[in-house]
Amino acid sequence: MHPAYSVIFFTTFSGAGYGLLFLMGLFAAAQWIDPVRWFGFTGFFFAFSMIVSGLIASTYHLGHPERAWRALSQWRSSWLSREGILAVTGFVPFSFFAMGWVIFENHGGAWRLMAVLTILFAVLTVYATSMIYATLRTVRAWFNRHTVRVYLAFSLWTGSVWFNLLAHLFDLHTPGIGMIVVITGILALWLKRKYWMFLDTSPTWVPPEHATGLGDLGSVKLLDAPNTQENYVQQEMGFNIARKHAEKLRRWAFFTYFLIPWSLALITFESDPWIKIPGAILAVIMVMVGTMIERWLFFAEAKHTTMLYYGASDS
Amino acid sequence: MTEIPQNTSGKKLGLVIDLDICVGCHACAVNCKEWNTSGHSAPLPDNDPFGQNAEGVWFNRVHTFECGQGADSRTVHFPRSCLHCEQPACVEVCPTGASYKRAEDGIVLVNEDICIGCKLCSWACPYGAREYDGDSGVMKKCTLCIDRIYNENLEETDRVPVCVSTCPANARHFGDLGDPISEVSRMVEERQGYDLMPELHYQPVNKYLPPRPKSADYQSEQPKRLTPVAARPENEEAGGLFRWIDRVLTR
Amino acid sequence: MTRGYFEPIEEINTSPTISDEIKYTTCYMCDCRCGIKVHMKDGGIRYIEGNPDHPVNKGVLCAKGSAGIMNHYSPARLTKPLKRVGERGKAEFKEIEWDEALELASKWLSDIRKSDPRKLAFFTGRDQSQALTGWWASQFGTPNHAAHGGFCSVNMAAGGIYTIGGSFWEFGEPDWDLTKYMLMFGVAEAHDSNPIKAGLSKLKKNGAKFVSLNPIRTGYSAIADEWIGIRPGTDGKFILALVHELLKADKIDLDYIVRYTNLPWLVIQNPGGADDGLFARGIDGEPVCWDTGTNQAADARLAGVSPALTGSFRLDDNREAVPAFALMATRYLGEEYSPEAAEQETGVSASTIRRIAAEITETAFEKEIEIDQPWTDWAGRRHNKMIGRPVSMHAMRGISAHSNGFHTCRALHLLQILLGSIDCPGGFRYKPPFPKAAPPPLKPTGKADQITPGAPMAGPPLGFPAGPEDLLVMEDGTPRRIDHAFSWEAPIAAHGMMHMVITNAYNQDPYPIDLLFMYMANMSWNSSMNTAGTKEMLTAKDEETGDYKIPKILYSDAYFSEMVAYADLVLPDTTYLERWDCISLLDKPVCSAEAAADSIRQPVVEPDRDVRPFQSVLIDLGARIKLPGLINEDGSPKYPGGYPDYIVNHERAPGIGSLAGWRGEDGKNHGTGAPNKNQLDRYIENGCFWEHKLPPEQHYFKHANRDYLEYAASVGFIEASNQIILQVYSEPIQKFRLAALGHGQIQPPDEHRERIEKYFDPMPIWYPPFEGEAIDTKMYPMHALTQRPMAMYHSWGSQNAWLRQIHGTNPLYINRKTAESFDIEDGDWVWVISHHSKVKAQVRLMEGVNELTVWTWNAIGKQSGAWNLDPDSPESKKGFLLNHVISELLPEKGDGFRYANSDPVTGQAAWYDLRVRIEKANGQENEITAPQFDTLQPPEALPKRPKILRYGRMYSRIQELEEPK
Ligand SMILES: Nc1nc2c(c(=O)[nH]1)N[C@H]1C(S)=C(S)[C@@H](COP(=O)(O)OP(=O)(O)OC[C@H]3O[C@@H](n4cnc5c(=O)[nH]c(N)nc54)[C@H](O)[C@@H]3O)O[C@H]1N2
Ligand SMILES: Nc1nc2c(c(=O)[nH]1)N[C@H]1C(S)=C(S)[C@@H](COP(=O)(O)OP(=O)(O)OC[C@H]3O[C@@H](n4cnc5c(=O)[nH]c(N)nc54)[C@H](O)[C@@H]3O)O[C@H]1N2
Ligand code: SF4
Ligand code: SF4
Ligand code: SF4
Ligand code: SF4
Ligand code: SF4
Ligand SMILES: [Mo]
């Protein structure tokens, strides 16, 4: 599949945004931290701007952005529609939650309910996003149980790296944070590995013989495509990355989205500000870059059944 | 809403394509383009039409495959357009309702007035039947010639998709595959018409008729041969012509 | 089902009006000439569809026809007459007015006509007005005229005309409805594009068996029940092996042979004599047979005689003679024609050949068809049934485009004849006006006494020589025509040799010409062999004078083709939707086996450019230079109304004109009759065609069917209603051989004797194609072919915005196994090297191709900038033209003389004799094909190429797209 940058940017940033909201909601609901105004403000600022910019980015690849509102109509059947609705309605609990924290410096009582709702919406929205892909039977690399897990895990992991940065900025010493960073990082790593193992070992999804129904006549090979220059379908679904190249990128991704930010987060637990703050910032940059590489691969490595009609030997 | 409507009539309009006689001439593809570029989905634009990467919107495209290897391999021409699936994920995934399947005849269409051009439906189509018109920012696709098949300005006999009426080899047929006794259904019955990628459960309405097996005498163990007229000695003398000498034939 | 505000129900107009006017005319996206309905809406072309009533296409349209709108609106359309200002080939032009253009052209023409009319060489390509152009040439007085047939399929035409008085494509067709077995030889698309597709589908649905012989398995061959990947150039060997088998098993239709062929005729046996191999003739010159009834020689044409088929007989004058049948049988029973011998050459196993022989005879004789349709034979005998031998055959350039094509084609007809399947139910069927006498009594004109400055020629430039006396040669035996047609190099060049014109004109052989006048032929590109060399010859200058070797080039094209760049004066033509045309019975008509028909084109839109229909321009020019047939006594133009005026009012012979329909003042006659001023209206009312359906008793055996023959004679198709006897043994051919053996007044120069003697065999022979014999085949082990893509028409399809998306480039196809042996992979770049030159191309591997054969699609490659395409278009950078490696001349043999790369009998260009080797283009994979030529700059007046095309937007319900995004 053709990796559309708008979509990569969108899923990465809104993912991180929701992850961060999730953690803030969690810490508030669990009352693990005090509702420090500026901590909250910065946190919500990061989270909201990531989510919003992500949403805006996602409209770039639309043919008619001005009609985007129509996408809210098909919640009964379309995960894209559901995602849109969740993204929009989510802002209600988010804002109340933020209001309580930043203005009233309070996340108890009724505000606490908002924190819980925030957690819920954050998870559901990311889940909806992932389901857009996970329900496409046309793409083996997406139509599997790993897709949703990886999306949720990455949302959480990127969010926690951001959360870690906040913690250091405001110098909150909650051991929980360190734990979460360590665990979510490993979780993201583990699930993505499993995804890649699945991808490398999963047998041909649909063979050309089934795409054409000509299997009885022998192995099926394209002789002539209908057109000699690439058409829309080939440009959109035909993007194909070489095995070797993909492996290289996977390694890069491993360093950037996991190893560097994870170790940085570790070493930044108990050190003095001059190290940990720059370290945490670097970790954030790295994890975002790494996740974008990972997302790029998520598209680039995905084969669409349509290409069976254009010479692909498997899908 | 885009949940697949209950098809009350049970009518399933679609195409049956006979791969046994398709010569791969592209007439159906070009005629489709010609009709539709001025039809319901007008226009079907072409980018860089006289340049290096000419590519345009087509609703029907003809592929050529080779099956098997060596002497007993075969070449099969393979036209491909929207199959108007009964379980069209292309419709389910559409966030706007622009993609829909008509209850009355099962035709899958795009409402260009509300399509936001998110392309998700083209991702959801296993058959590559959806083509994006970047110029007007909307998705387009085979309409089953909706502006022809019910067109009162046309003769009854002309109310068929143009890819069908133009096919020089008569390899394309249009009809109601929901009606078991329709001509197309019978064809499918007799010729074991089949679905593409059945395992994906889109349940295409369009059916393909397989190429017939090669005739039996082809590559048989003891091939037929003519038996020479018994070579009699005198026959040889006359250079083998003797047998014709006593033949009396009148003009 | 309710749909709310969010998802409005789409309002669909399922009954939009399609057109405010429908205009009927004839398609010209290829030579098939299908009838079309053009739907006009709001002044534009909404849709072109097939005319369901039309005899040719019965409502269907092919890919090309469906893309007609894109040719009509092509940005490559010429817009105004062009005068060359720069060097030839650079496409530097000045736009001029028509008056200036026509002044200049007529000056050139009249000067030549006054001095030496032969100095005009007038050759036409894909046009459909050869009845006009040929006649115009005779009026002008030059013998140097022909259409493109010489490089197209003259072998097929001549082989058929000299044998059965007809042939395939315009001349005949298989009996699609009744045939039970069809053998197709070397057809990719043919002229009958749509009828063949429709026919094959019928045939397969009827359960008939369809066998395709073709080195390549695409298109029609792909749907064949059996594909035989025969080695190129060896079909003759295959066919004659079938004949061998039939004779051996005595599975031949003797009654048919005796009734309808010249095989019973007695042939004089007098080795060394001037009459050896000629027919024994009676006092009135009638051929004789040996009547076993009376036991004496008798008029072979008489009904009721019982001719001997074998044996040897003494004639009254004591000469010895044998029936042609005996000669035929003796030859083909010989071991050199055995399936085993054929296997060696064809690569088709002997057992397959035997099986096919068994299958066709079984079909012909055990599955015989009887139609309860009484008919009357030439002798007036009533037959109450029509007996059919349902084996049909069709062939095209796979056979004719070889240097052995004439004989292979005759062999094919011999096979049909032995099966008794010529014009019988289920077999091959003639299309009126065929059959004609084999050959027709029409001779080429152009002998010394037939050419006078300022005067017309007595007859047409082209014809059918029946012996050396009909050749157009000088006393010393050298050619009289610039293309060397009807010379000893190609005595039966019935369609001329357009492919030799430029070379010969450049060499001033046999004499220099002054003006090369061409129409609708892309001769600097895809219709020439040795393209690069051709470009040089077109631009070559004489050292002393500095003038071009070919002094003037006048050319009419409708588009900015490669050839335009080489013209000194360009006459821009209209597109096929903007003009009148006439598909005449005098030319290449659109008849079917059961109907005589002709048709017209009418303008459906007005030209939006300063262009004129070429035929009208030609008539205008003719009047300006005072060609007798084109002016009245007072010197005023005879057809001021241009071509439509001519179509209606010109009479070739009294009562015979361009169109056969609605003749006579009242329009009540057809075939013959006085001109009818309302004729064109009648055609238009009838969908732009006229058709006379033959009554059922005339449907078959036209060559011997009295009712048909009388009808044909009455409307001028044939001279007289005599039976047309199939000429298996060809006496005209034997006459040339006798000349080579030293008999008669007109004999070949010594250097040609051997060749004439060898190849002018009165009965079909097979010999290996010339190129393979002239070069070291170890150096060039492979055969290289081209095929017509069904969705492209030669070079002119590439300007078509839709068709070029289907064929924007062309790979070199190689058999997978073969490629592996050269370790060549899919997508590799290779050199295709012939004895003449080399081209670079990208490889595509396939299964369905003969292992010794490589091939590509024809005419996809383009010169950069031509056709107003992007200079870096895939056509020029990834596409290639195989023509570059095909030489128009054979390698010289010792004496320095180089024959044309053509059939020795007809001069047919031997495109498919080409031999090559394939070499990996190591280290040179700059991913661009070679050779590349300078980029052509389209004339300023041509429109800029649009970045996006939105045809049909004017009909769109959504009008919000004002500015391109
Ligand atoms: N390698 C190879 N070469 C071949 C062949 C092959 O099989 N292999 N086939 C040969 C054969 S059989 C043929 S017939 C030739 C065909 O080759 P050509 O005779 O060159 O035919 P085209 O290239 O179709 O078109 C000739 C010219 O007609 C012009 N034209 C198109 N429409 C009109 C019109 O309405 N009016 C005028 N005035 N001009 C028009 C086009 O612009 C083009 O320049 O190619 C021959 N060349
Ligand atoms: N779409 C389309 N239709 C056309 C044309 C076009 O350009 N495009 N051109 C028109 C013209 S001008 C012409 S002349 C006709 C030509 O009509 P065709 O004769 O069908 O055209 P070719 O492409 O020359 O096909 C030659 C076929 O013979 C095969 N062949 C080559 N050598 C041999 C051999 O030795 N033996 C056998 N058995 N087969 C052999 C080739 O593989 C090829 O399939 O088509 C006409 N129709
Ligand atoms: S028009 Fe008919 S024969 Fe030609 S490609 Fe389409 S289906 Fe096949
Ligand atoms: S073929 Fe594709 S576009 Fe057509 S209905 Fe099925 S899924 Fe939808
Ligand atoms: S592109 Fe249009 S039709 Fe397709 S899913 Fe998006 S909105 Fe629906
Ligand atoms: S049904 Fe109509 S729109 Fe669909 S492929 Fe055929 S011609 Fe095109
Ligand atoms: S075969 Fe196609 S291009 Fe040729 S005349 Fe018929 S419709 Fe036109
Ligand atoms: Mo031709």
With helix as H, strand as E and coil as C, how does C442-483 read?
CCCCCCHHHCCCCCCCCCCCCCCCCCHHHCCECCCCCECCCC
Q: Taking a C-beta distance cutoff of 8 angstroms, is the pair C336, C736 a contact?
A: no
> What H or E segment, with its residue span, contains residue B83?
none
Any ligand 3 atom below 6 A from CB of B178? no
Closest CA to C626 of C452, C457, C456, C458: C456
Residue A174 has pLDDT above 80, yes or no: no
The residue-averaged pLDDT of B157-183 equals 98
Chains contacting C (3 or more CB pairs within 8 Å): A, B
| C13-16: long-range pairs with CB below 8 Å, 24+ | C13/B147, C13/C957, C14/B146, C14/B147, C14/B149, C14/B150, C14/B151, C15/B147, C15/B150, C15/B151, C15/B152, C15/B153, C16/B39, C16/B40, C16/B147, C16/B151, C16/B153
Predicted local distance difference test score (pLDDT) of residue C925:
59
Closest CA to C535 of C863, C795, C833, C840: C863
**Strand, helix or coil for residue C147:** coil
What separation, in Å, do the N-terminal and C-terminal C-alpha atoms of chain B show? 81
Name the more confident of A172 and C670: C670
Euclidean distance between CA atoms B74 and B19, whole angstroms:
12
The residue-averaged pLDDT of C1-5 equals 45
Euclidean distance between CA atoms A154 and A287, whole angstroms:
10
The residue-averaged pLDDT of C367-389 equals 97
Q: Which ligand is nearest to the CA of B90?
A: 4
Question: B124 CA to middle of ligand 4, Å?
Answer: 8
The residue-averaged pLDDT of B54-77 equals 96
Q: Where are the alpha helices (DSSP H) in C57-175?
A: 63-66, 68-72, 98-115, 130-140, 149-152, 154-161
Chain A residues with CB within 8 Å of chain C CB: 70, 72-74, 223, 226-229, 231
Query: Strand C782-787 relative to strand C320-323: parallel, antiparallel, unpaired?
Result: unpaired
The residue-averaged pLDDT of C362-377 equals 97
CA distances from C1 to A70, B8, B9, C8 (A): 19, 10, 13, 12
Residue type, C719: E
Predicted local distance difference test score (pLDDT) of residue C964:
43
Euclidean distance between CA atoms C373 and C697, whole angstroms:
6
Place of tokens 């209603």: C721
Residue type, A162: W
Predicted local distance difference test score (pLDDT) of residue B1:
43
Task: For a ligand 1 pocket test, name from C73, C580, C796 the mutation site with the most ligand atoms within 8 angstroms of its C-beta.
Answer: C796
The residue-averaged pLDDT of C471-495 equals 97
> Where on the phi/psi map is residue C688: left (φ > 0), alpha (ψ -120 to 50), or beta?
left
> Is C944 buried (19+), middle (13-18) or exposed (0-12) by CB count in 10 A?
exposed
CA distance A73 to chain C (A): 6
Q: pLDDT for C214-262, tens place per residue?
A: 999 999 999 999 999 999 999 999 999 999 999 999 999 999 999 999 9
The residue-averaged pLDDT of B209-232 equals 76
Any ligand 2 atom below 6 A from CB of C188? yes
Q: Please, which pLDDT band fits residue B3 given cuts at 50, 70 and 90?
A: low
Euclidean distance between CA atoms C420 and C424, whole angstroms:
8
Task: For a ligand 2 pocket test, name from C397, C849, C858 the mutation site with the most ligand atoms within 8 angstroms of its C-beta.
Answer: C397
Euclidean distance between CA atoms C39 and C259, whole angstroms:
52
What helix, strand, coil percent values describe chain B, rounded to 5? 20, 20, 60
CA distance C783 to chain A (A): 21
Minimum CA–CA partner of C878 in chain A: A228
Whole-number mean pLDDT of chain A? 94
Name the more confident of A171 and C591: C591
- Chain C residue numbers with beta carbons less than 8 Å from the beta carbon of A74 are 6-7
**Count of residues in chain B:** 251
Euclidean distance between CA atoms C39 and C58, whole angstroms:
17
Predicted local distance difference test score (pLDDT) of residue A5:
92
Euclidean distance between CA atoms B188 and B182, whole angstroms:
10
Residue A284 has pLDDT above 60, yes or no: yes
Q: pLDDT for A16-33, tens place per residue?
A: 999 999 999 999 999 998
For ligand 1, atom 37, the nearest C-alpha belongs to C557
The residue-averaged pLDDT of C157-181 equals 96
**Which residues pair with residue C787 across a beta bridge?**
C857
Q: Please, which pLDDT band fits residue C3 given cuts at 50, 70 and 90?
A: very low
> C800 in contact with A at a CB cutoff of 8 Å?
no
* Contact between chains at B168 and C194 (C-beta distance less than 8 A): yes
The residue-averaged pLDDT of A212-230 equals 97
Closest in A62, A67, A221 to B114, CB measured: A67
CA distance C587 to chain B (A): 26
The residue-averaged pLDDT of A138-162 equals 97
Q: pLDDT for C130-139, tens place per residue?
A: 999 999 999 9
DSSP state of C364: I
Residue C339 has pLDDT above 90, yes or no: yes
Predicted local distance difference test score (pLDDT) of residue C1:
37
Residue C961 has pLDDT above 50, yes or no: no
The residue-averaged pLDDT of A193-198 equals 97
Q: Is the four-CA dihedral A169, A173, A178, A181 of positive or negative sign?
A: negative
The residue-averaged pLDDT of C535-541 equals 98
* Contact between chains at A228 and C807 (C-beta distance less than 8 A): yes
> Where on the phi/psi map is residue C723: left (φ > 0), alpha (ψ -120 to 50), or beta?
beta
Residue C37 has pLDDT above 80, yes or no: yes
Question: B140 CA to middle of ligand 4, Å?
Answer: 11
Question: C152 CA to middle of ligand 8, Å?
Answer: 4
With a CB-CB cutoff of 8 Å, which residues 166-205 of chain B face chain C? 166-171
Euclidean distance between CA atoms C263 and A60, whole angstroms:
81
Euclidean distance between CA atoms C512 and C534, whole angstroms:
17
Residue B233 has pLDDT above 80, yes or no: no
Q: pLDDT for C737-789, tens place per residue?
A: 999 999 999 999 999 999 999 999 999 999 999 999 999 999 999 999 999 99
Q: Identify whether C287 is preceded by a cis peptide bond (ω within 30 of 0).
A: no
Q: Taking a C-beta distance cutoff of 8 angstroms, is the pair B188, B179 a contact?
A: no
Euclidean distance between CA atoms C786 and C770, whole angstroms:
18
Euclidean distance between CA atoms B101 and C53, whole angstroms:
36
Residue C965 has pLDDT above 50, yes or no: no
* Contact between chains at B95 and A71 (C-beta distance less than 8 A): yes
Name the more confident of C116 and A315: C116
Residue B234 has pLDDT above 80, yes or no: no
Residue B237 has pLDDT above 70, yes or no: no
* Contact between chains at B116 and A63 (C-beta distance less than 8 A): yes
- With a CB cutoff of 8 Å and minimum separation 6, the contacts of C567 are C82, C84, C553, C554, C555
Q: pLDDT for A300-315, tens place per residue?
A: 999 999 999 999 998 8
Predicted local distance difference test score (pLDDT) of residue C963:
46
CA A123 to chain centre: 11
Place of tokens 């998709």: B161
Predicted local distance difference test score (pLDDT) of residue A272:
79
Task: Please calculate the CA angle A247-A249-A251 and round it to the nearest 5 degrees.
Answer: 75
Closest in B1, B56, B75 to A223, CB measured: B75
Predicted local distance difference test score (pLDDT) of residue B2:
52
The residue-averaged pLDDT of B58-78 equals 96
pTM for this structure? 0.97
> Is B235 buried (19+), middle (13-18) or exposed (0-12) by CB count in 10 A?
middle
The residue-averaged pLDDT of A123-136 equals 98
Predicted local distance difference test score (pLDDT) of residue B215:
63
CA distance C22 to chain B (A): 12
Query: Strand B55-56 relative to strand C948-949: parallel, antiparallel, unpaired?
Result: unpaired
Tokens for C75, please give them: 């940005």
Any ligand 7 atom below 6 A from CB of C57? yes
Q: Please, which pLDDT band fits residue A266 given cuts at 50, 70 and 90?
A: confident
The residue-averaged pLDDT of C121-146 equals 95
Angle, in degrees to the nearest 10, between helices C154-161 and C405-418: 40
Q: Which residues in A233-258 are b (16+ Cβ under 10 Å) and which e?
A: bbebbbbebeeeebeebbeebbebbb
The residue-averaged pLDDT of C910-922 equals 95
Whole-number mean pLDDT of chain C? 96
Whole-number mean pLDDT of chain B? 92
